[in-house]
Structure 1
Amino acid sequence: MDWKIASQKWLTYENLDPNLKQQLNQMDSTELEEAFHEHITFGTGGMRGKLGPGINRMNIYTVRRAAKGLALHIEQQGTDAKQQGVVVAHDPRHQSSTFALEVAKVLGVHGIKTYLFKDIRPTPLLSFAVRYLSTAAGVMITASHNPPEYNGFKVYNEEGAQLSLEPSKQLLEKVNSIENEFAVDVLEQSDLEQQNLLVWLEDEVDNAYLNELNKITINKNAMEEDISVVFTPLHGTASQLVEKGLTQLGVQHLSFVEEQRPPDPDFTHVELPNPEEAQAFEKAIKLGEDINADVLMATDPDADRIGVATRHNQEQFSILTGNQLGALILDYILTHRTIRDVTPVMFKTIVTSELGADITKHHGGIAQDVLTGFKFIAEKIKNLEKDSKHQFVFGYEESYGCLVEDFVRDKDAIQAAIIVAEMVAYYKAKNMTLYDRLEELYEQYGYYLEDLHSLKLEGLEGMKQIDDTMTYFRNQNALQVDGLSLHSIEDYVSRKKHIIQSNDTESIHLPKANVVKFKFTDGSWCCLRPSGTEPKLKFYFGVKGKTAEDSQRKLSILKESILSQLNKVGAK
């Protein structure tokens, strides 16, 4: 797209939103090119981008365009889908409530009813609401854990799962058919309400969700042990449901990081609202030390990801990785939940630790890999519904997202908070912490260790660097890593696995994706993929050693060898 023509169209549009017009007039040519060189696209987490004017930014016009595409998509599914309607929720980010109402205004033109939450709600509740209300689709206005200048638009299908590849492609075709974002018709709120095309939601869905949440408890006796929990929603949506959920579980000593409790679009009291980052726990750790807490929990702004810090050697707090937490929850479920006459099935992503697979196999279960993106796990859960011989028990990914029970079909940090509190109480009664149990798992299965390195590459130049880097590594059939022998290369674009020693080729039975994974003969691996939600190129690393020191040594060698290659493509 010619960015100059696109930007001129906005600059000359008489009815442009005044705030957007003011911002537009202050932009230089570089900023204009980045804001107008292409339409904002759908990635693994839907449409997400920076707020501001432009077709490659989040604003009322790009939201209307996306909502119009959704309306056309629903119309194509038939009259029944239109009558089912759409449920919309939003987080506390800048313009989230405005965008949510804009979706309803566009859908209303097409005679599609919108169920809209009056206040902020978490992403997992939106997923649940789709299923509870039997709507044809759902929309979540959120940018998850991104910085304050971002927002997003996530679409959910009638199962409460994010759109899979083919429906997402179909929706994108509908969106792309809309050439003029300024020509999207809308109804006013008063007209929507008068025509019963807008239904405001309050507590009914929350109460139904809490009722389901109450059923995930595995060992009710565990809560006889008194525990102290510190929780922070990082200025997001999780506060009320986590508090109610932990209270009905039986947690009597729950303390909030009060500075980070109020919803705040600027995330004033945290550097970045991402529980994957250690800095997000700084205030929680201080409070936890002051009150001698047993466990610390933090959720991202839309409450689909959770981070947990546990006592290490009964002393300082240690922040668990997503891989470690997922393995602990999986182990607890398979060890304590009664599963009769069916084979338990666990789903994880291709960049998630193999420890979970070992745990599942030890308990007689099946571990299956999917591409990155929880929608692929939701697809697998759907396929198991009519399978009387297999039962879904857990799904997780390394990026702090997991699902305990399938009444939700996306990552659910609230469910995770409940099961973590139960685990803490159970192990405390045995004079153990979560970290103590993790050490036992390592002793039993091997010392698995993983790491992630992200390159933030913004703008057009960043996109080129990501493409160049992926191309370079895709062609490294003789990749050298000190002390490790390359076993195979998996290219998810060609969907082929190349076995180095035999020179054989095998098919990869997963969808096409811009991913390359290197596997070594000792079980170590490295995987590269561009993020679907942020301007980042991600390098994932995994090793297995006989001891913690052995694993750390292997991981250091693997990372250094791989990342040293970046100089050859000019990426940093």
Structure 2
Amino acid sequence: MDWKKELNRWKEEENIDGSLKEQLELLDEAELEDAFYKELEFGTGGMRGKLGPGTNRMNVYTVRKAAKGLAEYVKNKKGDSIVIAYDSRYLSETFAVETARVAGAEGVKAYVFSSLRPTPELSFAVRHLGADAGVVITASHNPPEYNGFKVYNEDGGQLPPAEAEKMITLVQKVENELEVDTEEAGTLEENGLLAWVDTDVDEAYLEAVQGIRLSDDIDKDMSIIFTPLHGTAHPLVTDSLKRAGFTNVSLVEAQAEPDPEFSTVASPNPEETQAFTLAMEKGQKTGAELLIATDPDADRVGLAVPGEDGEYRVLNGNQTGALMLDYILSQNEELPDNKIMIKTIVTSEMGRAIASKYGARTLDTLTGFKFIGEKIREFEASGEATFAFGYEESYGYLVSSFVRDKDAVQASLMGAEMAAHWKKKGYTLLEALEELYKEHGYYIEGMDSLKLEGRAGTEKIARIVDSFRETELKKAGGLEVLATEDYQSSERIFADGTKETIHLPKSNVVKFILEEDGWFCLRPSGTEPKLKCYYGVKSGNRERSKELLEALRAEVSEKWHAVN
């Protein structure tokens, strides 16, 4: 795109939003180029970007353009309705209503939640209401200056690549985002094209959540502290725990109310220990045995428990996933022989070992829960397999498939039940995890990221990935490379030169399989201007695994920083 031409088009528009016009005048040339040099793209989490003026920003006009494409997508599938939810971020409610106004102008009915709701409830509501698509306005755990437009299909799953391409094509056909037709909300209500939804859907969802419970033979008096990190999870998580009989649950009050600035945390991300600071302080005073934190749109959850020294330890996503998988497979005797666990290619191999113990098959997908949701739908249609559990290393878990995305409400309840189960047996979650390590091996993982913003950053990320793709690595971190998996060419190339096809969608990802169950994987983020590198190792003891991981990270990091 000619960014200067696009900038002038916006400046010449007489009726453009006044606040956006004012913001344009405050941007320098580099900021203007970044705001207009491209359109916001759909990644693993839909359309997500910084708030502000420009074709590469989240604003009412780029939202209207996306909404127009979505309405056309629904009509092309002979559909007539969508569901819309939104979180606590800046302009989330505005963007939700604008989406409904555009859909209504196209003759597509919008069911809009009357107040904040979590992403997993949106996924549930699409099928519950018999709608043809869904939208949630959220930027998940991104910083306050971000927002997003995440799209779901009629199954309640995020759009997989083939469907996303169809919608992207329709969005791109919208020639001028500044001239998308809208209709007033009041008129749409009168014409039956806008309906507000509320407690009826909440109740149906909460009843479904209670259905995931596996045991009442647990210590329900276990002391729990919960923080929604200023997001949407507060009512549903606390209600779910109460309905399950947990009697000793308290909130981090300073983080209980929605706040688009997320003012008490550096980042509203339960993957980061700092997000638990206030929960830990309260836990130290009260002797809490479990801390639970959810991200703003309540699709990710983190757990923390006290160690032997009394200090809280935050379990990482792979550890929590391993514990949940082991608990579910050990307690759910109703699962059939064709049960399957689904994880992503950058998630720990420990899950595969645990699943194998219980006779469950493991399936790997690309990063992004939309691929897990897509497989659940396929298996339900074919009967080939029965979904038992799905997870990814980035703190996303799904216990039951009445939702087709990661669900922190389900995971919070299952995490509490699991911790209460182990407490009754005399173990903390850390001690239970240690038993899994002793049984299956010390799987340890890590992740490094490199933030590179703007056009130059995007181009450098591509060069780094290509440099690894084009280099024939023999060793990494002292471990021999057994195979290279190139998900862009769909090829797995073994050290002896033989090849086989990878049957997954094409993606700009390269993964190296190492001896001793080691691996590392480079992947540009689909939702942030970052290059991510994931690492995994395994050995018979913790110290050896730590040494392997440190050596691997050091060598790979040196290689990617050497790329110009």
Distance in 1 (alpha carbons) for counterparts of 2:335 and 2:454: 53
Distance in 1 (alpha carbons) for counterparts of 2:422 and 2:538: 26
Contact 1:480/1:561 (8 A) holds in 2 = no
Amino acid at match of 1:176: Q
**Which residue does the alignment assign to 1:231?**
226
- 1:371 aligns to 2:366 (yes or no): yes
Distance in 2 (alpha carbons) for counterparts of 1:512 and 1:204: 40
Deviates most, 341-350 or 150-159: 341-350
Contact 2:336/2:386 (8 A) holds in 1 = no
Contact 2:337/2:359 (8 A) holds in 1 = no
- 1:424 aligns to 2:419 (yes or no): yes
Amino acid at match of 1:279: Q
For residue 339 of structure 1, report the CA deviation from its aligned partner: 2.8
Contact 2:516/2:539 (8 A) holds in 1 = no
Amino acid at match of 2:33: E
Contact 1:314/1:433 (8 A) holds in 2 = no
Distance in 2 (alpha carbons) for counterparts of 1:16 and 1:257: 41
Matches within 5 A, 1:356-505: 356-388=351-383, 390-500=385-495, 502-505=496-499
Distance in 2 (alpha carbons) for counterparts of 1:265 and 1:389: 44
**Which residue does the alignment assign to 2:238?**
243
For residue 336 of structure 1, report the CA deviation from its aligned partner: 0.7
For residue 387 of structure 1, report the CA deviation from its aligned partner: 4.5
- List structure 1 runs of 4+ shifted beyond 6 angstroms: none
For residue 344 of structure 1, report the CA deviation from its aligned partner: 1.4
**Which residue does the alignment assign to 1:8?**
8
3-state SS in 2 of match to 1:296: strand
**Which residue does the alignment assign to 2:529?**
535
Distance in 1 (alpha carbons) for counterparts of 2:541 and 2:514: 19
Distance in 2 (alpha carbons) for counterparts of 1:290 and 1:333: 32
Distance in 2 (alpha carbons) for counterparts of 1:194 and 1:478: 65
For residue 340 of structure 1, report the CA deviation from its aligned partner: 5.2
Amino acid at match of 1:201: V
Contact 2:220/2:246 (8 A) holds in 1 = no
TM-score, normalising length: structure 2 = 0.99
Contact 2:43/2:526 (8 A) holds in 1 = yes
3-state SS in 2 of match to 1:220: coil
Amino acid at match of 1:250: G
Cα pair distance change 1:202/1:567, threshold 3 Å: closer
For residue 314 of structure 1, report the CA deviation from its aligned partner: 6.9
**Which residue does the alignment assign to 1:278?**
273
Distance in 2 (alpha carbons) for counterparts of 1:113 and 1:217: 35
Distance in 1 (alpha carbons) for counterparts of 2:151 and 2:39: 17
Amino acid at match of 1:94: Y
Contact 1:313/1:436 (8 A) holds in 2 = no
**Which residue does the alignment assign to 2:302?**
307
Amino acid at match of 1:425: A
For residue 424 of structure 1, report the CA deviation from its aligned partner: 1.1
Contact 1:322/1:397 (8 A) holds in 2 = yes
3-state SS in 2 of match to 1:105: helix
Matches within 5 A, 1:346-365: 346-365=341-360
Deviates most, 481-490 or 462-471: 481-490
User: What do the CA deviations read for 1:215-247 (whole angstroms, capped 9, x no partner)?
Assistant: 11101121x442011111110000000010000
Cα pair distance change 1:188/1:526, threshold 3 Å: same
* From 535, 554, 569, the counterpart of 2:548: 554
* From 217, 220, 237, the counterpart of 1:221: 217
Distance in 1 (alpha carbons) for counterparts of 2:391 and 2:160: 17
Matches within 5 A, 1:69-148: 69-78=69-78, 81-82=79-80, 85-148=81-144
* From 297, 315, 329, the counterpart of 2:324: 329
3-state SS in 1 of match to 2:476: coil
For residue 182 of structure 1, report the CA deviation from its aligned partner: 1.3
User: What do the CA deviations read for 1:525-545 (whole angstroms, capped 9, x no partner)?
Assistant: 000000000000000000001
Amino acid at match of 1:197: L
3-state SS in 2 of match to 1:392: strand
3-state SS in 1 of match to 2:56: coil
Count of aligned pairs between the two proteins: 564
* From 134, 152, 159, the counterpart of 1:156: 152
Deviates most, 314-323 or 255-264: 314-323
3-state SS in 2 of match to 1:512: coil
Amino acid at match of 2:177: E
Distance in 2 (alpha carbons) for counterparts of 1:258 and 1:410: 28
Distance in 1 (alpha carbons) for counterparts of 2:425 and 2:178: 63
Cα pair distance change 1:341/1:103, threshold 3 Å: closer
Amino acid at match of 2:226: F
User: What do the CA deviations read for 1:242-264 (whole angstroms, capped 9, x no partner)?
Assistant: 01000001111111111111100
Root-mean-square deviation over aligned CA pairs: 1.0
**Which residue does the alignment assign to 1:182?**
178
Distance in 1 (alpha carbons) for counterparts of 2:249 and 2:101: 40
Cα pair distance change 1:252/1:341, threshold 3 Å: closer
**Which residue does the alignment assign to 1:28?**
28
For residue 447 of structure 1, report the CA deviation from its aligned partner: 0.2
For residue 341 of structure 1, report the CA deviation from its aligned partner: 4.3
User: What do the CA deviations read for 1:39-74 (whole angstroms, capped 9, x no partner)?
Assistant: 111111100000000010000000000000011111
For residue 312 of structure 1, report the CA deviation from its aligned partner: 1.9
* From 556, 559, 564, the counterpart of 1:565: 559
Deviates most, 272-281 or 474-483: 474-483
3-state SS in 2 of match to 1:385: helix
Deviates most, 305-314 or 445-454: 305-314
Deviates most, 170-179 or 338-347: 338-347
**Which residue does the alignment assign to 2:68?**
68
Distance in 2 (alpha carbons) for counterparts of 1:284 and 1:542: 30
For residue 391 of structure 1, report the CA deviation from its aligned partner: 1.4
For residue 393 of structure 1, report the CA deviation from its aligned partner: 0.5
**Which residue does the alignment assign to 2:49?**
49
Distance in 2 (alpha carbons) for counterparts of 1:57 and 1:406: 33
**Which residue does the alignment assign to 1:202?**
198
User: What do the CA deviations read for 1:249-298 (whole angstroms, capped 9, x no partner)?
Assistant: 11111111111111000111111000111110111111111100010010
- 1:288 aligns to 2:283 (yes or no): yes
Cα pair distance change 1:479/1:418, threshold 3 Å: same
Cα pair distance change 1:24/1:368, threshold 3 Å: same
Contact 2:477/2:553 (8 A) holds in 1 = no
For residue 311 of structure 1, report the CA deviation from its aligned partner: 2.2
Distance in 1 (alpha carbons) for counterparts of 2:331 and 2:561: 49
**Which residue does the alignment assign to 1:508?**
502
3-state SS in 2 of match to 1:48: strand
Contact 1:342/1:389 (8 A) holds in 2 = no
For residue 313 of structure 1, report the CA deviation from its aligned partner: 2.7
Contact 1:311/1:318 (8 A) holds in 2 = yes
Distance in 1 (alpha carbons) for counterparts of 2:156 and 2:62: 23
User: What do the CA deviations read for 1:368-395 (whole angstroms, capped 9, x no partner)?
Assistant: 0000011110111111114446311100
Distance in 2 (alpha carbons) for counterparts of 1:213 and 1:494: 40
3-state SS in 1 of match to 2:140: coil
Distance in 1 (alpha carbons) for counterparts of 2:59 and 2:559: 39
Deviates most, 311-320 or 122-131: 311-320
Distance in 1 (alpha carbons) for counterparts of 2:57 and 2:381: 42
User: What do the CA deviations read for 1:441-461 (whole angstroms, capped 9, x no partner)?
Assistant: 000000000001011111111
